[in-house]
Structure 1
Amino acid sequence: MKPLLAIKIEKDDLEKQVNKFHNTTMLKKGFKLLLFAFIILGNSTIFAQDTKLENGKDYILADVEVTGKVQYNQQTVVTFTGLEKGQKIRVPGEEISLAIKKLWKLGLFNDVNFYINKIEGDSIYLELNLMELPKLADVKIQGVKKGKTEDLLKETDLKKGKVVNENLITTTKNYIENKYKKDGYYNTKVIISNTPDSTGTEVKMLVNIDKGEKVKVKNIDFSGNEQLTDAKLLKAFKNTKKRNFVRFYKRSKYIKEKYKEDLASVISKYKENGFRDARITSDSVTYDKNSNTVAIKVNLEEGRKYYFGDIRYLGNTIYTDRQLSQLLGVKRGDVYNGVLLQKRIADETKPDGEDITNLYQNNGYLFSSINAVEVRTVNDTIDFEIRITEGPIAYFNKISVVGNDKTNDHVIYRELKTKPGQKYSKELLIRSIREIGQLGFFDPEAIKPDFKNVDPQAGTVDIEYNVVEKGSSQIELQGGYGGGGFIGTLGLSFNNFSIRNLFNKEAYTPVPMGDGQKLALRLQGSTYFQTYSLSFSEPWLGGKKPVNFSASISHSKQFLYNYATRDVTRDQSFNITSFSVGLAKRLRVPDDYFVLSQAVSFQYYDLNNYNTGLFTFGDGASRNLAYTIGLSRNSKGSNPIFPMYGSDFSVSAKFTLPYSAFNGVDYGNLENLEEYKYKYNGSPYTYSDNGVDILVTEGDYLEAIPSTSNPTPKKANSLATAAADPAKVDQEKYKWLEYYKIKFKADTYQRIYGKLVLRALGEFGFMGAYDHERGLVPFERFYLGGDGLANYSLDGRETIQLRGYPNNSLSSTDGGTVYNKYSLELRYPITLNPSASIYALTFVEAGAAFNDFKNYNPFAVQRSAGLGLRVFMPAFGLLGIDFAHGFDPVPGDTQKSGWQTHFIIGQQF
């Protein structure tokens, strides 16, 4: 039915009239309430089907018909309005006004009209005419590289189906412009245009970005500075730098906010050098449109140089003046340093810093306050009072964790150092953040403790830890050609596994998760070898104490492979079966960063006609039963991928039983073994055996050595002597491996500036023998050089990274028994986003391997330097690439190693 009345009411008139007669709130712009037209007409009578609409009359709402361009069904829209059939409403009145407000707040419509369809007695029929805002069908971004487009779409949340209104356009425009201004593109302009489709319900959006050129800094001039040079002041400008094509680590760009920070840094620089009254009298930034540069001029007033005078402490009852003075570290007569004074009282840059505030807060005084007040200035000397309000001791009350959707609560709570009823300690709070981050299940940069219900009267505080979960499981799926054939790898690592839910079907999402256990399965194979391994670890054995239980089993099988012909001989094989079980207990003394670990391992080496030169015997078996004990202290920062502080020290010893002490074998006289061959001692010659020419040289061992004068097969000629078979000798010597290994590692992290971190690493390893006549085994040795990775290891070797040289090139063919390595690495994070953490690095390192301790020289090393990039993605682990230059030749060469490229896959952090 057509509306009985259709009179448009202007916004201003409507607001005045409605407020005058009915005291309703202001109506939104663009809305047309045609049913209120009678307000303007005064007491005029409106005829429709002989029905009179009186001013402010009550009606029963019979129906609301929804018309116009709207995709929602009628009942949904009516529900949005809050109007219901049978409801008593006043026309005009607040019910219609509130309905309009509700529809407007939805942000879905750009036009709303109410009409009266008809009135029957006390019943009124209304029509609601709506025009929906268009929705986003497609977005195209111009003016930036394709790689940046996806990031912008995510950051601005421009998704298909999103309602397009003025707020969305304005917000998107402002965000992009501000984003690029922060990067130095101060003249960035963004134009957004929308093209509607034929129906008008969808639009295609075009975002055109003109970044322009970066605004660079042409000059920074200081005036009024006599005590501090321009060079020192320019160093204080950490974010705003002059153009300098040589400087690559800090490009010139002008950002207003950063410039203001640098001005404050200049004043701080003066305060560090005793000039308390230094101030900036004026500064100017002049923009040159032609060169797109700015010229900065800063006028200074330095004032006089001051010194510390007497320092008194007021209000301290817990700690003596002497204790506080030692921690403050400031004496009478020292040059005034306002920045240092503030840091010694409360260092905002180091939450765990050694300052007076933390001294109190680490011992329960959460409500304490410490302030330094200047009380007297005589000439160039300033006296201070350190005023302390200690307050009551605070205790932790309620401890809670939010944000862990997958990880079970007990996995987090058992790592927390803050317990209900415990005396408040800021140190324990920071330590708890570290322990949560070290789990590897959460974004370490997003862990945030919130203080709830802080009650100074009761002396209690609630702590709520906010965490953001990230992917903790990894998958490794690789295929390619290497070593002469196709190699396939499948690796699955579940780092937050729940073995107790292994038989609970409902817990598979897609695998049982949440109990903090680790389960890893790895399969690797090619035409000539296969490796299978399974490992499991439980960090809290029994659930009550931090005792880590670990177990692993693996089996590998390799067939004899001819790299030239790619033929595989399957009746010649080498098998290794390994088992290990270990326990690691967190200690309390000297502190709870220490871990004592113990493990027992067993390897069984089985050779079946495998004569390749890798071992001196081709048939037989060796066994390796060893016990390993280690002591470590790991205090690295909360982010295990990119620690910014702390250290990791470890020392370990691995022992086998001293079999030579009790097995009764005389290893100095093994030629008494019954099995003999003949050792030829004459000149080389060739003989024919079934048409095959065989060369016999001096030192060859054969069952029979034919001669031209006496070709009897089973007899040796006069130039051959009986000797023990070396294969049999080595089989006896290595039946049970006998050795011991000592290793030490020191790994430290120090924040240099901001997020720039220096990593210093030192390693040492030594392998020894109990019985020198038996000698060292050819297993378990150190192989130095290259990327430090090994797909599989037949002889239990340890590969040690030293970039700038080919893999294993710095050890002898049989491996070293002693090695040392030193490394310095500068790291800077590009992003620490949990979905993909990326950091760049540059390094210098040196190391060497030696065949015995007699020749060991810790300073005779091969050196290298280079740079690299690391990318950590939860699903794939750590990936990276290094470009390294070796400054020295590898042993046996005369030319330096030069540039080497190393690819890093799955290496430890």
Structure 2
Amino acid sequence: MGKQVNNLGKSLPFRLYTKHIITALVLLIGLNLQAQNIPYSDGKKYTLGDVTVSGNTSFSSETIVTYSGLRKGAEIMIPGEDISSAIKKLWNSKLFSDIEIYLTKTEGDVAYLEIQLSDLPQLNEVKITGVKKGKFEGIIKDNKLNPGTKVTENLIVTTKNHLVNKYKKDGFYNTKVNINTIEVKDSMTTARVNMVVAIDKGEKVKISDIVFNGNSNLDDKVLRKSMKSTKKINRLRLLKRSKFIDSAYHADLSSLIDKYKENGYRDARILSDSIIVNGDKTISININLEEGDLYKFGDITFIGNSVYTDQQLNRMLRIKKGDTYNGVLLQKRIADATKPDADDITNLYQNSGYLFSSINPVEVSADENVIDMEIRISEGKPAYFNSVTVVGNDKTNDHVIYREIRTRPGQLYSKANVMRTVREFGQLGFFDAQEITPNFNNPNPNEGTIDMEYSVKETGSSQIELQGGYGGGGFIGTLGLSFNNFSIKDIFNGEAYKPVPMGDGQKLALRLQASRFYQTYSFSFSEPWLGGKRPVQFSTSISQTKQFSYDYTTGNADKSKSFNITGISVGLAKRLSVPDDYFTLSQALSFQRYDLNNYDVGLFTFKDGYANNLSYTVGLSRNNTRIDPVFPTGGSSFTATAKFSFPYSLVNGVDYEALLEEKTEQEAIYIDPDTALDQSNALTRIGEIDQERYKWLEFYKINFKGDWYTEITKNLVLKPSFEFGFLGAYNNDRGVIPFERFFLGGDGLGTYSLDGREAVALRGYPNQSLSSTDGGTIYNKFSLELRYPITLGAAAKIYGLGFVEGGASYNDFRDYNPFDIKRSAGLGIRIFMPAFGLLGIDFGHGFDPIDSTGSKNGWETHFIIGQQF
């Protein structure tokens, strides 16, 4: 018997096929029945003889038949629910694109069926157009468009809807997405298709107007201002966008209601809002409001407090009876979610050990628009740290971490101490500051205990220092190795070299700096916890520098004229507890020996000789910047230092006044053409006098630098800075020494002459161009930076910045004018990579002249390598 053409259904209900199926059966098997007269319930019962499978499928016949539920030997009705159920099961598998069941033959009461189907095509590859290549991976991942995925109509529709909604939320309100599939013709049995996803985002929709209806107490201007990210078009506004972003818009609707709550209208609500698409491809927003009545605070009662009195809590709350009701302020004074270290009641309890406390404001009366409040406090038991652990430190030894912890087992819980611990870990520089997480484990309110676990992620703490800059007539290069988590105790332990001994928090630096005109070598070492019990930092450094004179005939170094500097310093820095433990007192003793060999360049009036610099430096600093030392978001840092030499002129018995007078006389002889025969003797005598004056350098030097960090909005940080320096002399007859001076301008890297000078960066001008040839004895600098991070990941921290700054150097206080400065502004970018330190580039525009031409300096490019402004 031939194949029967009885289609028992695909996607339509089996009942719709009943009439045609039974008619076919009558014709094919000779039953004397009128199909149109047989109802659905009158199908014939058969024993299922066999079920075969045909069509384009990669699944085995046994698998398909088993999954359909049709079993050989089973009694089924044809037509009936068994066939319907089999079709439904196969469709629900979402594996097939076409399903048909045929009655192939009958032998008495035995029926034979055939399931004919085709597999859904698998996704071969996806081509995406209309967006940047970097977005492809995210689109594929979000929509699960991986090779081998079954391509269904549902997959295509959901992908399209997802992309349209995604870009609408980003402000592309007119996004269009078309998805086509193309069959892959090859020898493979499995059907495959390529998918083409064409995305047309269009332009971001701008907001032409925001209209408020129903507001009479707060005007439109106030309400628009409260919407921080949703702004209508204003060509004069530069920093705020007027593009519509769905997520930002809904957040701004909440801010709108908060603005009413801040002004006493606690019942204010948005009745409706609508977006109107205009013909010029802009939109207008209509917001219908109900303001409600104005409310004031009535009586505020604290209930459940025993640790703090009502007076103490009222001082923290700072809200009085009769004040205009402000629900937002009330919540912030109880618990400010925007500031983890806020001055609020919750932190008052948390910093006193009451981790399990809860504080809830409840309105108990609102008669005559006066709201009486009860602030209900459940103090709970004081919490104590049961255990304190650190995980994630693979290189850094435990004792280096645990000595920074401010939370100890058995100690009363303090949120402030937890936050301070996180900050100290970040300041070490051994861990990714963005990944330090305090985990509260096993809180037990009944016992009053908590387990504290700090999770850290180590980052590269050793650096290859590469610096480059131009100054002193040539390129200056620096190569250095800095090991910031060194372990000197393992220096003779061969197994500890991975590649160097690490883990004890010590710092070891080797540095070579060279140009055509000078070479310097230095070694430094510091131990942050001398003896291991107190935060007393010990540091020492040794350096050797050789500088050569400039040969004006060849433009090269004249190595027959040299200036050698040998230096050594030893210092101690102790963390203080008063006024607070952010303060550090540092002291250092240093010695430099300056040797001149035929060095007749005008730095001194003698070309052969020496000078000694024995000095003592004391400094007071305070640094409470937040967590990440690369990108602080709050706090401040300042340093004040004073450097002194011994006042030799008070004890050595030399009459410097007489020497100065004699030098003046000899200088007069030297420049007088009528005394030509005596000029050589005069010059020799001037050299002898200066050799006496500078045999032991006598000076004092004051420096101050302050930086402040304020997070204006999320991650947008404002950094004002101020610097000041002064170099003075104890004895005016002896004069200010030619060493230790200030050289202002440029990138701060052009320190080709290491005679104690300080190169002070001021962008927008050439290196050292804003000081006299001999350097200034006074300088001040003002700077304002606006920073925003691009990424703060562990592999690289990148942030952009804009700056304005100004500064000047002066030769003495008679010239000093802090407002007569050289000004500049510009843009820059910084990249911090653990292996190389800070890299960057700045484009600065100098607004003032640096020479007699009177023309502004204009643009300068500064490469910043291994240095931070």
- Category of TM-score, reference length = shorter chain: 0.7 to 0.9
CA shift, 1:724, in A, is 5.8
Could you tell me how far apart the structure 1 residues matched to 2:677 and 2:360 are?
88
CA shift, 1:895, in A, is 4.3
* Gap change, CA 1:510 and 1:238, over 3 Å in 2: same
CA shift, 1:272, in A, is 0.7
Could you tell me how far apart the structure 2 residues matched to 1:679 and 1:467 are?
70
Does 2:726 correspond to 1:766?
yes
Say if 1:181 and 1:188, in contact at 8 Å, map to a contact too: no
Q: 1:184 corresponds to which letter in structure 2? A: G
Q: 2:534 corresponds to which letter in structure 1? A: K
CA shift, 1:514, in A, is 2.7
Aligned pair partner of 1:743 in 690, 703, 708: 703
Matches within 5 A, 1:637-652: 637-652=626-641
Say if 1:701 and 1:725, in contact at 8 Å, map to a contact too: no
Counterpart of 1:185?
172
Say if 1:529 and 1:558, in contact at 8 Å, map to a contact too: yes
Could you tell me how far apart the structure 2 residues matched to 1:755 and 1:309 are?
38
Counterpart of 1:713?
none
Counterpart of 2:204?
214
Secondary structure at 2:656 match in 1:
coil
Secondary structure at 2:657 match in 1:
coil
Secondary structure at 1:726 match in 2:
helix
Deviations 1:547-571 (A, max 9, x none): 2222222222122232552343322
Counterpart of 2:248?
258
Matches within 5 A, 1:93-492: 142-145=129-132, 149-150=133-134, 153=137, 164-165=148-149, 180=167, 183-186=170-173, 187=175, 189=177, 209-287=199-277, 291-477=280-466, 487-492=476-481
Q: 2:438 corresponds to which letter in structure 1? A: P
Secondary structure at 2:346 match in 1:
helix
CA shift, 1:479, in A, is 7.1
Counterpart of 2:821?
861
CA shift, 1:223, in A, is 0.7
Counterpart of 1:820?
780
How many pairs were matched up? Answer: 761
Does 2:606 correspond to 1:613?
no
Aligned pair partner of 1:842 in 778, 802, 823: 802
State the identity %. 60
CA shift, 1:155, in A, is 9.5
Say if 2:517 and 2:752, in contact at 8 Å, map to a contact too: no
Which moved further from structure 2: 350-359 or 34-43?
34-43
What is the TM-score with the length of structure 2 in the denominator?
A: 0.79
Q: 1:837 corresponds to which letter in structure 2? A: K
CA shift, 1:748, in A, is 1.5
Which moved further from structure 2: 149-158 or 462-471?
149-158
Counterpart of 2:90?
none
Does 2:846 correspond to 1:903?
no
CA shift, 1:699, in A, is 7.9
Aligned pair partner of 2:656 in 646, 657, 667: 667
Counterpart of 2:81?
none
Secondary structure at 1:386 match in 2:
strand
Could you tell me how far apart the structure 2 residues matched to 1:331 and 1:480 are?
61
Aligned pair partner of 1:726 in 686, 691, 706: 686
Secondary structure at 1:323 match in 2:
helix
Alignment root-mean-square deviation, CA: 3.8
Aligned pair partner of 2:62 in 9, 20, 34: 34
Aligned pair partner of 1:504 in 493, 516, 530: 493
* Gap change, CA 1:727 and 1:339, over 3 Å in 2: same
Matches within 5 A, 1:794-809: 794-809=754-769
Deviations 1:42-68 (A, max 9, x none): 469xxxxxxxxxxxxxxxxxxxxxxxx
Which moved further from structure 2: 885-894 or 445-454?
885-894
* Gap change, CA 1:761 and 1:811, over 3 Å in 2: same
Deviations 1:781-816 (A, max 9, x none): 122233333343332111223334433333332222
CA shift, 1:483, in A, is 5.3
Say if 2:467 and 2:864, in contact at 8 Å, map to a contact too: no
Q: 2:234 corresponds to which letter in structure 1? A: N
Q: 1:492 corresponds to which letter in structure 2? A: L
* Gap change, CA 1:386 and 1:891, over 3 Å in 2: farther
Could you tell me how far apart the structure 2 residues matched to 1:490 and 1:143 are?
46
Could you tell me how far apart the structure 1 residues matched to 2:529 and 2:338 are?
34
Secondary structure at 1:423 match in 2:
coil
Could you tell me how far apart the structure 2 residues matched to 1:450 and 1:211 are?
42
CA shift, 1:629, in A, is 1.0
* Gap change, CA 1:809 and 1:457, over 3 Å in 2: same
Could you tell me how far apart the structure 1 residues matched to 2:395 and 2:672 are?
76
Could you tell me how far apart the structure 2 residues matched to 1:204 and 1:725 are?
93
Which moved further from structure 2: 813-822 or 422-431?
813-822
CA shift, 1:464, in A, is 1.7
Deviations 1:509-548 (A, max 9, x none): 3333333222222223344422222222222222222122
* Gap change, CA 1:480 and 1:861, over 3 Å in 2: closer
Say if 2:470 and 2:750, in contact at 8 Å, map to a contact too: no
Does 2:644 correspond to 1:655?
yes
CA shift, 1:294, in A, is 2.9
Secondary structure at 1:824 match in 2:
strand
Counterpart of 2:589?
600
Q: 1:800 corresponds to which letter in structure 2? A: V
Say if 2:170 and 2:246, in contact at 8 Å, map to a contact too: no
Q: 1:600 corresponds to which letter in structure 2? A: L
* Gap change, CA 1:230 and 1:823, over 3 Å in 2: same
Say if 2:670 and 2:678, in contact at 8 Å, map to a contact too: no
Secondary structure at 1:379 match in 2:
helix
CA shift, 1:879, in A, is 2.7
* Gap change, CA 1:873 and 1:154, over 3 Å in 2: farther
Q: 1:744 corresponds to which letter in structure 2? A: F
CA shift, 1:891, in A, is 7.6
Could you tell me how far apart the structure 2 residues matched to 1:828 and 1:810 are?
30
Which moved further from structure 2: 192-201 or 852-861?
192-201
Could you tell me how far apart the structure 1 residues matched to 2:423 and 2:790 are?
21
CA shift, 1:271, in A, is 0.6
What is the TM-score with the length of structure 1 in the denominator?
A: 0.76
Greater RCO, CA 8 A, separation 6+: 2
* Gap change, CA 1:723 and 1:450, over 3 Å in 2: closer
Q: 1:280 corresponds to which letter in structure 2? A: I
* Gap change, CA 1:487 and 1:332, over 3 Å in 2: closer
Could you tell me how far apart the structure 1 residues matched to 2:568 and 2:478 are?
21
Deviations 1:477-528 (A, max 9, x none): 4679875556543222222223333333333333333332222222233444
Unmatched segments (≥5 aa) in structure 2 = 1-9, 11-56, 75-92, 96-118
Could you tell me how far apart the structure 1 residues matched to 2:569 and 2:193 are?
63
Secondary structure at 2:732 match in 1:
coil
Deviations 1:24-51 (A, max 9, x none): xxxxx9854738979955469xxxxxxx
Counterpart of 1:49?
none
* Gap change, CA 1:723 and 1:803, over 3 Å in 2: closer
**Structure number having the greater helix percentage:** 2
* Gap change, CA 1:724 and 1:566, over 3 Å in 2: closer
Which moved further from structure 2: 840-849 or 745-754?
840-849
CA shift, 1:358, in A, is 0.4
Deviations 1:824-845 (A, max 9, x none): 3322223222323222333333
Counterpart of 2:750?
790
CA shift, 1:581, in A, is 1.8
Deviations 1:644-667 (A, max 9, x none): 111112221111112222223222
CA shift, 1:191, in A, is 5.5
Secondary structure at 1:668 match in 2:
helix
CA shift, 1:457, in A, is 0.8
